[in-house]
Chains A and B, each alone.
Chain A
């Protein structure tokens, strides 16, 4: 059913072109209108070896809508393989291609013997958000690109999946931090996104000892495909670990699942926590004596940050949650799991969480919330205004991110937690005058 979308915090499924784009060696072929790629190309860091300027596109026009676009798609794929220097071509369908009933699967099948791999995912914009699109693209890669046979399992090799590339502004930095955390307890991380990873790492996926999904809900369907296809077990860890408290918990859970010697995990945890608190100690005056920020905060974001940041600020920093707003429309089957996690905080604190409805409604609620002073508001570019209206400290941590640049920093782990504190208290330091 159509509904009011007054402050878009997600895009359509076709925007999962950014998931493809983030796998070096892979490129999407858009069977869509000429400008879908350009429109969906936001958040920063969206160029690279390929960008929408390079993405092959059938540029569906009136002619294809009347006569069908399969011929144009066939030509586009055939020429793309010749012209574009890529190893994996992922055909993605847009709204019009789907409505007119083009069978992209059968066109792609004609390229089964091509020099380069060509696969497809149906991603019409009306069918779902780019969060779902991300899942569909991963599922297509796992089903269509990866071989049917399971190679020999490589002990300690762990495939790690977390936030959707580019939509999640810290996707890359977080993934690198998660790799480092896995490596710190002796595992061999394998990720497919960003520099130095890419298609060769996709090829390694079937050999993993297990899959690690760090996400409240997104990605579960695709790791289950790997379980079915290769029998690879997975650890679904719903809380993005930020800061010492949650990261130590995370390391212990991963270590236990992977069969890592407890002594190793405990030694790493002890070392990392000591270092983390060395920094916290030096800067604790900042945290204790900030005059213009109350103890209360609100996060408006996809579930992973709403949950992960709530845990960090409550369990590490001793702050207090108000109602948190979840913007990525988790499917209903995951609601219990997600809302339960918000209730597992230190001192029996339970955070309220709600699904984001409209900007009009939610921002009105925030204006009427008792923050006991000036709140910390963590959200998207859309939330700057309500932050200003409440006298809040505002940090842009979720899509859309219009007014800041994030290159490779992440907020996961011990170091990520510290970096996140830098973000918050940099804003606060610039606002000392009331």
Chain B
């Protein structure tokens, strides 16, 4: 697709990538329908609270170490500010860096919804810049400012004339998209618009898009073997560092959902190759990913040396643990950037995936292809897998768990793990994006799964002392009963 950085707002995933949030079927069908373009979204006549795309958008931007976010919104929209400040400060401390970004709200009240408040916001922006001296300023909109039509683009233009740092408007109204991952694209769009500069020289750097960079030391050592340095995005990065990401050798991402916009845009606009393999989770994922990096940066030999050396250490250990996991039955409920990746890893470990739910589905990524992890899974799965696109609708997932009664449930979103346990299914929270990274991560992940099934005490105790939140009636219905086919909404 063509990336237009002059456009104030990025299109939502529904319109850009044909993303859907409601589907029930199986792996073969989903891939087939994606290839032939016949996939249709299903809406729901009942939904539970899920996520806001602004959490994704501003969470990403807030990870940059030296910016300010001015969030033109009611107080509640800024509720994530304290948690983010503490977390990013802690992540900065790991590498001895000071986190000095701030999110500041405008605390909109009722009269502002009638008269608007841009003049005040202008003053607040000046105060924020004078107080915190950020290296860039993001002005973000909310549902309220979107509905009442506050022109934050013009405000950003005015401020650019007055202050000598990049100023970007960020259109993250929560009502805009059912796919909260659209927020990732919104943050990328803002960074590309205002911070990234055209390349002047090539640098021996690989852009590494991730969430919380827990594997930073490990990846830094790994890349050093190939003579390159990782530039982690966006957590712990600075505006100065981001201005150079167009000069990197390649872009990789730990999660396809997170990286598609930035990776493809850097490739299309500045010729920085985007590594589009399956992700480095599990053995196959890691090796496929490493080899592609090696090919792109011309270090294939070094990569093979590394793989041979590390295989000798880890593969037999992983196989040893996998023996004990063989035959376990699992259900997965995650974002689409992880569901199909984790399904592949579980298959490597001998675990039988009986149902895989992804919260949304990107019919294609920004390069027009079916997401590679899904394609790979289709090509390596002989016995099909039941799939649903479940929009983090817990009642659907619990209904599925009640029907399939697996040994394990794999979750990845805050607050979503406990419900399986209450229904008697032990759960593993794939918390960190690097939990299954590389050989070492795969081994420790396998051990965590094993420890979880070998001591089910917590799960059993909790299940014995709590009630499930749903009625008996619901468990007697089909899990997809609240989905209504909507032929009018073809992609």
Set of chain B residues within 8 Å of A345, measured between Cβ atoms: none
Does A82 reach chain B (CB closer than 8 Å)? yes
Is B50 a contact partner of A85 (Cβ separation < 8 A)? no
Binary flags per residue of A8-44, CB closer than 8 Å to B gives 1, else 0: 1011111100000000000000101111111111100
Number of A positions contacting B (CB below 8 A) = 71
Per the bound structure, the CA–CA distance linking A347 and B313 in Å amounts to: 73
Known A-B contacts A33-B143, A35-B54; the reply to A15 vs B79 at CB < 8 A is: yes
Choose one: B45, B54, B467; the contact of A75 (CB below 8 Å): B45
* A59 located at the interface, meaning its Cβ lies under 8 Å from any Cβ of chain B in the complex: yes
CA distance A42 to B86 in the complex (A): 13
The answer to whether A61 and B178 have CB atoms under 8 Å apart is yes
Given contacts A4-B106, A126-B108, A380-B82, contact A35 B75 (CB under 8 A): no
When distances are taken between beta carbons in the complex, the residues of chain A under 8 Å from B418 are: 47
Given A40-B76, A95-B74, A126:B471 Cβ within 8 A: no
B49 interfacial by beta-carbon distance below 8 Å: yes
- Check B45–A35 contact: CB distance below 8 A: no
Of the listed residues A12, A47, A64, A100, the one surrounded by the most CB atoms of chain B closer than 10 A to its CB is: A12
Q: Which residue of B49, B80, B112 contacts A34 across the interface (Cβ within 8 Å)?
A: B49
**Closest chain A CB from B471 CB (angstroms):** 5
Contact residues in B for A381 (Cβ distance below 8 Å): 82, 85-86
Residues of A within 8 A of B54 (CB): 35
Q: Given the complex, which residues of B lie within 8 Å of A148, measured CB to CB? A: none
Known: A39-B77, A80-B46. A49 touches B108 (CB 8 A): no
Docked CA distance A311–B85 (Å): 32
Question: Which residues 312-327 in A have Cβ within 8 Å of B in the complex?
Answer: none
Known: A30-B49, A35-B180, A381-B82. A10 touches B109 (CB 8 A): no
Is there contact, CB below 8 Å, between B419 and A53?
Answer: yes
Contact A56 B102 (CB under 8 A): no
Task: Assess whether B368 is interfacial by the CB under 8 Å rule.
Answer: no
Chain A residues with Cβ below 8 Å from B45 are 75-76, 79
| Residue among B77, B102, B127, B128 having the largest count of chain A Cβ atoms under 10 Å | B77
Q: Which residues of B sit under 8 angstroms from A51, Cβ to Cβ?
A: 415
CB distance from A107 to the nearest CB of B (A): 15
Contact B86 A5 (CB under 8 A): no
A299–chain B nearest beta-carbon distance, Å: 18
Q: How distant is the Cα of A97 from the Cα of B392 in the complex, in angstroms? A: 22
Q: Does B67 contact A (CB under 8 A)?
A: no
| Contacting pair B113 A126 (CB below 8 A) | yes
Give residues 258-305 of A contacting B (CB, 8 Å).
none
Q: Inter-chain contact count A-B, CB under 8 Å?
A: 229
Instruction: State which of B76, B131, B144, B174 has its C-beta within 8 Å of the C-beta of A360.
Output: B131
In whole angstroms, what is the CA distance A30 to B482 when docked? 18
Contact with A along B105-144 (1 / 0, CB 8 A): 1111111110001001100100110010000000000111
Asked if A2 and B112 make an inter-chain contact with CB atoms under 8 angstroms apart, the answer reads: yes
Residues of B with C-beta under 8 A to A11: 75-76, 79
- Contact at A83–B46, with CB atoms within 8 Å? yes
CA distance A12 to B142 in the complex (A): 14
Contact pick for B49, options A36, A125, A382, A403, CB 8 Å: A36
Cα distance A86–B53 when bound, in Å?
Answer: 29
User: Chain B interface residue count: which class?
Assistant: 35 or more
Pair B82/A49 contact, Cβ less than 8 Å: no
> What residues of A have a CB within 8 angstroms of the CB of B117 in the complex?
1-2
Q: Does A60 contact B (CB under 8 A)?
A: yes
Q: 0/1 per residue, A70-108, Cβ < 8 Å to B?
A: 000001100110111110000000111001100000000
Residues of the A chain whose Cβ atoms lie less than 8 Å from the Cβ of B395? 54, 83
Question: Out of A61, A75, A402, which one reaches B46, CB within 8 Å?
Answer: A75
A57→B49 contact, CB < 8 A? yes
Whether, in the assembled complex, A58 has its beta carbon less than 8 Å from a beta carbon of chain B, the answer is yes
Q: Is the CB of B74 within 8 A of A34?
A: no
Instruction: Tell yes or no: B458 within 8 A of A by CB.
Output: no
A6: Cβ under 8 A from any B Cβ: yes
* Cross-chain contact A8 with B55 (CB below 8 angstroms): no
B76→A36 contact, CB < 8 A: yes
Of the candidates B75, B113, B471, the one whose C-beta lies within 8 Å of that of A8 is B75
Contact residues in B for A38 (Cβ distance below 8 Å):
49-52, 55, 414-415
CB of B3 within 8 Å of the partner chain: no
Q: Measured between alpha carbons, how far is A8 from B76 in the docked complex, in Å?
A: 9
Contact across chains for A4 and B124 when beta carbons are under 8 A apart: yes
Query: Which residues 158-173 in B have Cβ within 8 Å of A in the complex?
Result: none
Bound-complex Cα distance A54 to B422 (A): 13
List, in ascending order, chain B residues with CB within 8 A of A2's CB: 72, 106-109, 112, 117, 120-121, 124
Q: Which residue of A lies closest to B131 (CB)?
A: A360
B48 within 8 A of A: yes
- Assess whether A125 is in contact with B77, with CB atoms less than 8 Å apart: yes
Closest CB in chain B relative to A67 CB, distance in Å = 13
Judge whether A62 is part of the interface by a CB distance below 8 angstroms. Answer: yes
A85 touches B415 (CB 8 A): no
Indicate if the CB atoms of A130 and B147 lie closer than 8 Å. no
| A55–B393 alpha-carbon span in the complex (Å) | 10
Most buried by B among A39, A64, A75, A400: A39
Smallest CB-CB separation from B394: which chain A residue? A53
CA distance A130 to B53 in the complex (A): 22
Shortest Cβ gap from A101 to chain B (Å): 11
User: For residue B178, which residues in chain A have a CB less than 8 angstroms away from its CB?
Assistant: 34, 59, 61
Bound-complex Cα distance A83 to B394 (A) = 12
**Cross-interface CB contact of A126 among B55, B131, B144, B414, cutoff 8 Å:** B144
A129 and B53 alpha carbons, distance in the complex (Å): 23
**0 or 1 for each of B296-307: is its CB under 8 Å from A? (1 = yes):** 000000000000
CA distance A56 to B120 in the complex (A): 36
Asked if A50 and B469 make an inter-chain contact with CB atoms under 8 angstroms apart, the answer reads yes
In angstroms, Cα B78 to Cα A49, docked, is 26
Q: Which residues of A approach B to under 8 Å, CB–CB?
A: 1-8, 10-15, 30, 32-42, 46-47, 49-62, 64-65, 75-76, 79-80, 82-86, 94-96, 99-100, 124-127, 129-130, 360, 380-382, 400, 402-403
Given contacts A40-B76, A52-B49, A125-B144, 8 further A-B contacts (CB under 8 A): A6-B102, A8-B81, A11-B76, A34-B50, A56-B48, A79-B482, A83-B395, A126-B112
10 contacts between A and B (CB under 8 A): A36-B49, A36-B174, A38-B52, A39-B55, A61-B177, A95-B142, A96-B147, A96-B175, A360-B127, A381-B82
